[in-house]
A and B are shown apart, each in its own frame.
Chain A
Amino acid sequence: MTAPALSVTDLRVSSPFMELLHGLSFDIAVGERVGLIGESGSGKSLAATSVMGLLPDTLTATGSVRLNGGDANLLTADERRLNQVRGNTMAMVFQEPMTALNPLMRVGAQVAEIMTVHRTQNGRRQAQDRAIELLAQVRLPDPAQAALAFPHQLSGGQRQRVLLAMAMANDPQLLLCDEPTTALDVTAQAEVLGLIGGLVADRGSSLLLITHDIAVVAQVCRRVLVMHRGTIVEDGPVGRVLAAPKHPYTKNLIAAADLSVVDDRGRLRTPPAARTLIAPSRIEADAAPAAILPPYRAAHQRLAPGGPPIVFNEVSGEPAIRVRELSRQYRRPGGRLFAPKPIVHGLRDLSFDVAAGQRLGIVGESGSGKSTLMRILCALDQPSSGTVDVLGQQLGGASERQLREFRREVQIVFQDPMGSLDPRMKVRDIVAEPLQHVGRAEMRARVEAQLAAVGLDADVMDRHPHQFSGGQRQRISIARALITRPRLLVADEAVSALDVSVRAQVLNLLAELVDQYRLTLVFVSHDLGVVRHLCDTVAVISDGRIVECGPTGDVYDRPLHPYTRKLISATPSMPDLAPRSAP
């Protein structure tokens, strides 16, 4: 039995105040691909950084970390010894590709550097050529040109590939990846995961993949470790762990991650400890949803050039939202002094309706224009051409005074729990902000009621946002959105930044409140699974155009447009995993 590529025994990491990792022990065999799952704050990143010896000065690590059976314990090795190992025998890829490259240095030079540092290539010229080969291996378009580019000229996915090429440059025996694809779009994520699997297999290196997304681990790794609050609670082959998890925490994690398992009312199963919401009464939808006329599904905007525009999801009678030939162009800065600046087409004459009470999901990758559409619907941005009527209010060119009434009717919930609440304001003022001309007493009462409605008790009012977890902050954000009893709720990636377990609770809350207040919901997201669970209709948007729209079930099971098909196949989903995970 050859020595394990990496053996970690009783790894403890503590800060001056408390111990964060409580004695981790695991081995990774040569060529074995291991996944490490856990929610944020479980210490999974800490484990990887302590193996690489990159812990910040304030933290201290004890125990032992040995590479391929060597006697040197990396935790106590001196800087010089560690530098010989790092980037050579073991390498690491980090989560945030946008900031992981030196903005002032060309990409090729940064890749070549890892080779010149370890003298695996004798001379800068060879290192530069080898770098271009590596960029080709990670399938970057035109690698020679890419090598000369600066990081800001590449997309997130391309930069992650550069980092991967850099990590694999010296054929490391162990590759550590800390959430390598979390910040990427679905399609880019699929490609990068494919590359990681491929490169590791070619070089026979072993892999430790850290992520919070069980589906990603299922797709790439053969064995999985589950971490919870600084300890490994489960360790075993992926198939066995997914099919029959032993530890209760793993059970909950898997359940929360699988959005297809719902109870009769369409709510996800949340961990038993969840507090029951107020009187979950079955609300009959009293007003039957307005009839939706075909054709609500078409592969592209206009069937015949110059013909009438295809109106997606057309609604007879009075729709909540009516959009006709909406376009939005931007002037990109730069360009020559007199030549007109190049025009960027944000949205290209969209036409669609949303019926009152309908839950429309808008799915698309970053840069597809879904955020621009969302901002126009909320009158935060003016359309370049076309008409937009929301709740009877014509938005094109409306002045802020005319929009006063509209502002109470339409509210937004944002993506980033950290950034959507003003850190310097108390919760009471945050939630009460949308209210206008309301006495102090009535304001206090309404805020208290609204907070209760989202499952937070009253003593929360006088605290500041930084004293709450991500899930609680999103609840506050929802409370703020609903305080003025809006008729239309727009959610912009409302759950993407949340942990899996917390995500389930927030989705349930959203569904509950949309039913209870009979809201029309427009849910914008890049996560097809969430949209499938929450929305009854979905519109797929690509490069400023709606390419497909229809009932969620239909679109997911029988996608018509090639782009939709690519999106759906790129999303790793849970159910079909069990059979494929045979060793």
Chain B
Amino acid sequence: MTAIRPAKSARRTVRGGDATLRAGLALIGLVVLAAVVSLWWTPFDPEGIFSDSILLPPGSEHLLGTDSFGRDVFSSLLRGAQISLLVGTVAVSIAAVLGVPFGIVAGMNPGRLDQFMMRGNDVSLAFPALLLAIIFGAIYGAGTVTAMVALGIGTAPAFALIARSGTRQIMSCEYVLAARASGKNGLFIGVRHVLPNISGMLIVQASVSFGIAVLAEAALSYLGLGTPPPTPSWGRMLQDRMPRATCSSNRCSLSGRESPLPSRCWASTCSVTACAIDSTLACR
């Protein structure tokens, strides 16, 4: 009997992607740290009004200067991380909860049911997240919750498609046949065999959707449909800054009341980190 030889590991060792993986993880860590820290401490109150310190340039006291309400940009950034992480997580989980079971059931019942569900998926694909956000915004009033629900429902069809194609591959494997032969019903096979095996694909899709959700929240805030003030959100911070960002230095003199271009674009780098989150997991 040959001794138990360790078979060659199936997981592909990550070589080329190491650099981006480490960079991505570092950025995620930064964002999560910011969100957690801001839960109970921020240098200044990001929602207060300080009419005496309006639009200060970055300096010792205010690391990144202040906004038009005199609020410290750095603390708004920390607090804004919470919103972005919240929007990303909730939107992706709604999409997963709606999309994945739908996809698995469609995948496990090829033929008429599958065709019927796929047509349903087509209809939901025709209502992109932004359209839903506009309509829900009008119905329930613009806000973080409406934005998250709209993004969640908007991305659910993508999860359904991924889950369905994964399930169809798994259903052709012999261990599913073995499970059916030992009398296991559809639910058991779905939960015990299909779900664990397609979880890899779902994680990749989740990370991609997370990045897109954070960016969509920024776009919604730009359109006035995202998180309402005074809670800080990166999207709206970017939008508030834009007027000054357009006045590039050589066209008009930098009067004392302006915070220079770099700090204003600092908020945009945050959305870059948000998207790095998706790149790290997706690049493997």
B178 touches A469 (CB 8 A): no
The digit string for B121-153, where 1 denotes a CB below 8 A from any CB of A, is: 000000000000000000000000000000000
Partner of B177 from A275, A400, A410, A412 at Cβ < 8 Å: A412
Query: Of residues 127 to 170 in A, which have CB atoms within 8 Å of B's CB atoms?
Result: none
- Given A424-B197, A467-B6, also A419-B174 (CB < 8 A): yes
In the complex, what's the smallest C-beta–C-beta distance from A440 to chain B, in angstroms?
16
For residue B252, which residues in chain A have a CB less than 8 angstroms away from its CB?
none
A414 touches B177 (CB 8 A): yes
Q: B192 near A: Cβ within 8 Å?
A: yes
B178 touches A505 (CB 8 A): no
Question: Nearest A residue to B198 by beta-carbon distance?
Answer: A424
A414 touches B182 (CB 8 A): no
Interface centre among B174, B178, B196 (most CB of A within 10 A): B178
In the complex, what's the smallest C-beta–C-beta distance from B166 to chain A, in angstroms?
13
A404 touches B183 (CB 8 A): yes
- Given A274-B1, A468-B7, A469-B5, also A424-B196 (CB < 8 A): yes
Interface centre among B6, B173, B179, B184 (most CB of A within 10 A): B173
Q: B2 near A: Cβ within 8 Å?
A: yes
B10 touches A415 (CB 8 A): no
Count how many chain A residues have C-beta atoms less than 8 Å from C-beta atoms of the other chain: 40
For residue B192, which residues in chain A have a CB less than 8 angstroms away from its CB?
422, 425
Query: Of residues 165 to 194 in B, which have CB atoms within 8 Å of A's CB atoms?
Result: 173-175, 177-185, 192-193
For residue B1, which residues in chain A have a CB less than 8 angstroms away from its CB?
273-275, 455, 505
A380 touches B180 (CB 8 A): yes
Query: Of residues 222 to 279 in A, which have CB atoms within 8 Å of B's CB atoms?
Result: 273-275
- Given A455-B1, A466-B9, also A420-B178 (CB < 8 A): yes
Q: A434 near B: Cβ within 8 Å?
A: yes
Q: B14 near A: Cβ within 8 Å?
A: no
Question: Nearest B residue to A455 by beta-carbon distance?
Answer: B1
In the complex, what's the smallest C-beta–C-beta distance from A255 to chain B, in angstroms?
16
Q: How far is A576 from B54 in the complex, measured between Cα atoms in Å?
A: 99
Q: B4 near A: Cβ within 8 Å?
A: yes
Q: A436 near B: Cβ within 8 Å?
A: yes
B177 touches A433 (CB 8 A): no
- Given A273-B1, A400-B183, A466-B10, also A414-B197 (CB < 8 A): no
For residue A468, which residues in chain B have a CB less than 8 angstroms away from its CB?
4, 7
The digit string for A474-488, where 1 denotes a CB below 8 A from any CB of B, is: 000100100010000
Q: A186 near B: Cβ within 8 Å?
A: no
Q: How far is A380 from B7 in the complex, measured between Cα atoms in Å?
A: 32
In the complex, what's the smallest C-beta–C-beta distance from B123 to chain A, in angstroms?
25
For residue B2, which residues in chain A have a CB less than 8 angstroms away from its CB?
273, 469, 471, 502
Q: A416 near B: Cβ within 8 Å?
A: yes
Q: A520 near B: Cβ within 8 Å?
A: no
For residue A469, which residues in chain B have a CB less than 8 angstroms away from its CB?
2, 4-5, 7
Do most interface residues of chain B lie in helix, strand or loop, or is the interface mixed? loop
A403 touches B183 (CB 8 A): yes
A414 touches B10 (CB 8 A): no
Count how many chain B residues have C-beta atoms less than 8 Å from C-beta atoms of the other chain: 24
Q: How far is A505 from B2 in the complex, measured between Cα atoms in Å?
A: 11
Query: Of residues 1 to 27 in B, which have CB atoms within 8 Å of A's CB atoms?
Result: 1-2, 4-7, 9-10
For residue B5, which residues in chain A have a CB less than 8 angstroms away from its CB?
469
Do most interface residues of chain A lie in helix, strand or loop, or is the interface mixed? loop
Question: Nearest A residue to B180 by beta-carbon distance?
Answer: A380
Interface centre among B1, B4, B173 (most CB of A within 10 A): B1
For residue B193, which residues in chain A have a CB less than 8 angstroms away from its CB?
422, 425
B173 touches A407 (CB 8 A): no
The digit string for A366-380, where 1 denotes a CB below 8 A from any CB of B, is: 000000000000111
Q: How far is A466 from B197 in the complex, measured between Cα atoms in Å?
A: 14
B174 touches A415 (CB 8 A): yes
Q: How far is A275 from B3 in the complex, measured between Cα atoms in Å?
A: 10
- Given A455-B1, A469-B2, also A414-B7 (CB < 8 A): no
B177 touches A422 (CB 8 A): no
Q: How far is A281 from B124 in the complex, measured between Cα atoms in Å?
A: 66
Interface centre among B9, B183, B196, B197 (most CB of A within 10 A): B183
For residue B197, which residues in chain A have a CB less than 8 angstroms away from its CB?
422-424
For residue A480, which residues in chain B have a CB less than 8 angstroms away from its CB?
178
Question: Nearest B residue to A472 by beta-carbon distance?
Answer: B4
Q: A181 near B: Cβ within 8 Å?
A: no
B181 touches A407 (CB 8 A): yes
In the complex, what's the smallest C-beta–C-beta distance from B195 to chain A, in angstroms?
9
Partner of A419 from B173, B184, B185 at Cβ < 8 Å: B173
Question: Nearest B residue to A456 by beta-carbon distance?
Answer: B4
The digit string for B54-68, where 1 denotes a CB below 8 A from any CB of A, is: 000000000000000
Partner of A407 from B7, B9, B177, B182 at Cβ < 8 Å: B182
Query: Of residues 409 to 440 in A, which have CB atoms within 8 Å of B's CB atoms?
Result: 410-412, 414-416, 419-425, 430, 433-434, 436
Question: Nearest B residue to A270 by beta-carbon distance?
Answer: B1
Query: Of residues 195 to 212 in B, which have CB atoms within 8 Å of A's CB atoms?
Result: 196-197
- Given A414-B174, A423-B197, also A380-B181 (CB < 8 A): yes
Q: How far is A229 from B192 in the complex, measured between Cα atoms in Å?
A: 38
Q: How far is A424 from B189 in the complex, measured between Cα atoms in Å?
A: 13
Question: Nearest B residue to A492 by beta-carbon distance?
Answer: B174
Partner of B183 from A407, A419, A425 at Cβ < 8 Å: A407
In the complex, what's the smallest C-beta–C-beta distance from A62 to chain B, in angstroms?
21
Question: Nearest A residue to B184 by beta-carbon distance?
Answer: A433
For residue A415, which residues in chain B have a CB less than 8 angstroms away from its CB?
174
Q: How far is A436 from B188 in the complex, measured between Cα atoms in Å?
A: 13
A436 touches B175 (CB 8 A): no
For residue B6, which residues in chain A have a CB less than 8 angstroms away from its CB?
467
The 10 closest A-B pairs by CB, nearest first: A434-B182, A407-B183, A424-B196, A275-B1, A414-B174, A420-B174, A422-B175, A419-B174, A466-B10, A419-B173
A-side interface residues toward B, CB under 8 Å? Answer: 273-275, 378-380, 400, 403-404, 407, 410-412, 414-416, 419-425, 430, 433-434, 436, 455, 460, 466-469, 471-472, 477, 480, 484, 502, 505
21 A-B residue pairings within 8 Å (CB atoms): A380-B180, A412-B177, A412-B181, A414-B177, A415-B174, A419-B174, A422-B192, A422-B196, A422-B197, A423-B10, A425-B192, A425-B196, A430-B175, A433-B178, A433-B184, A434-B183, A466-B9, A469-B4, A472-B4, A480-B178, A502-B2
B-side interface residues toward A, CB under 8 Å? Answer: 1-2, 4-7, 9-10, 173-175, 177-185, 192-193, 196-197
Known: A422-B192, A502-B2. 9 other contacts (CB 8 A): A411-B182, A414-B174, A420-B175, A420-B178, A424-B197, A433-B182, A466-B10, A469-B5, A471-B2
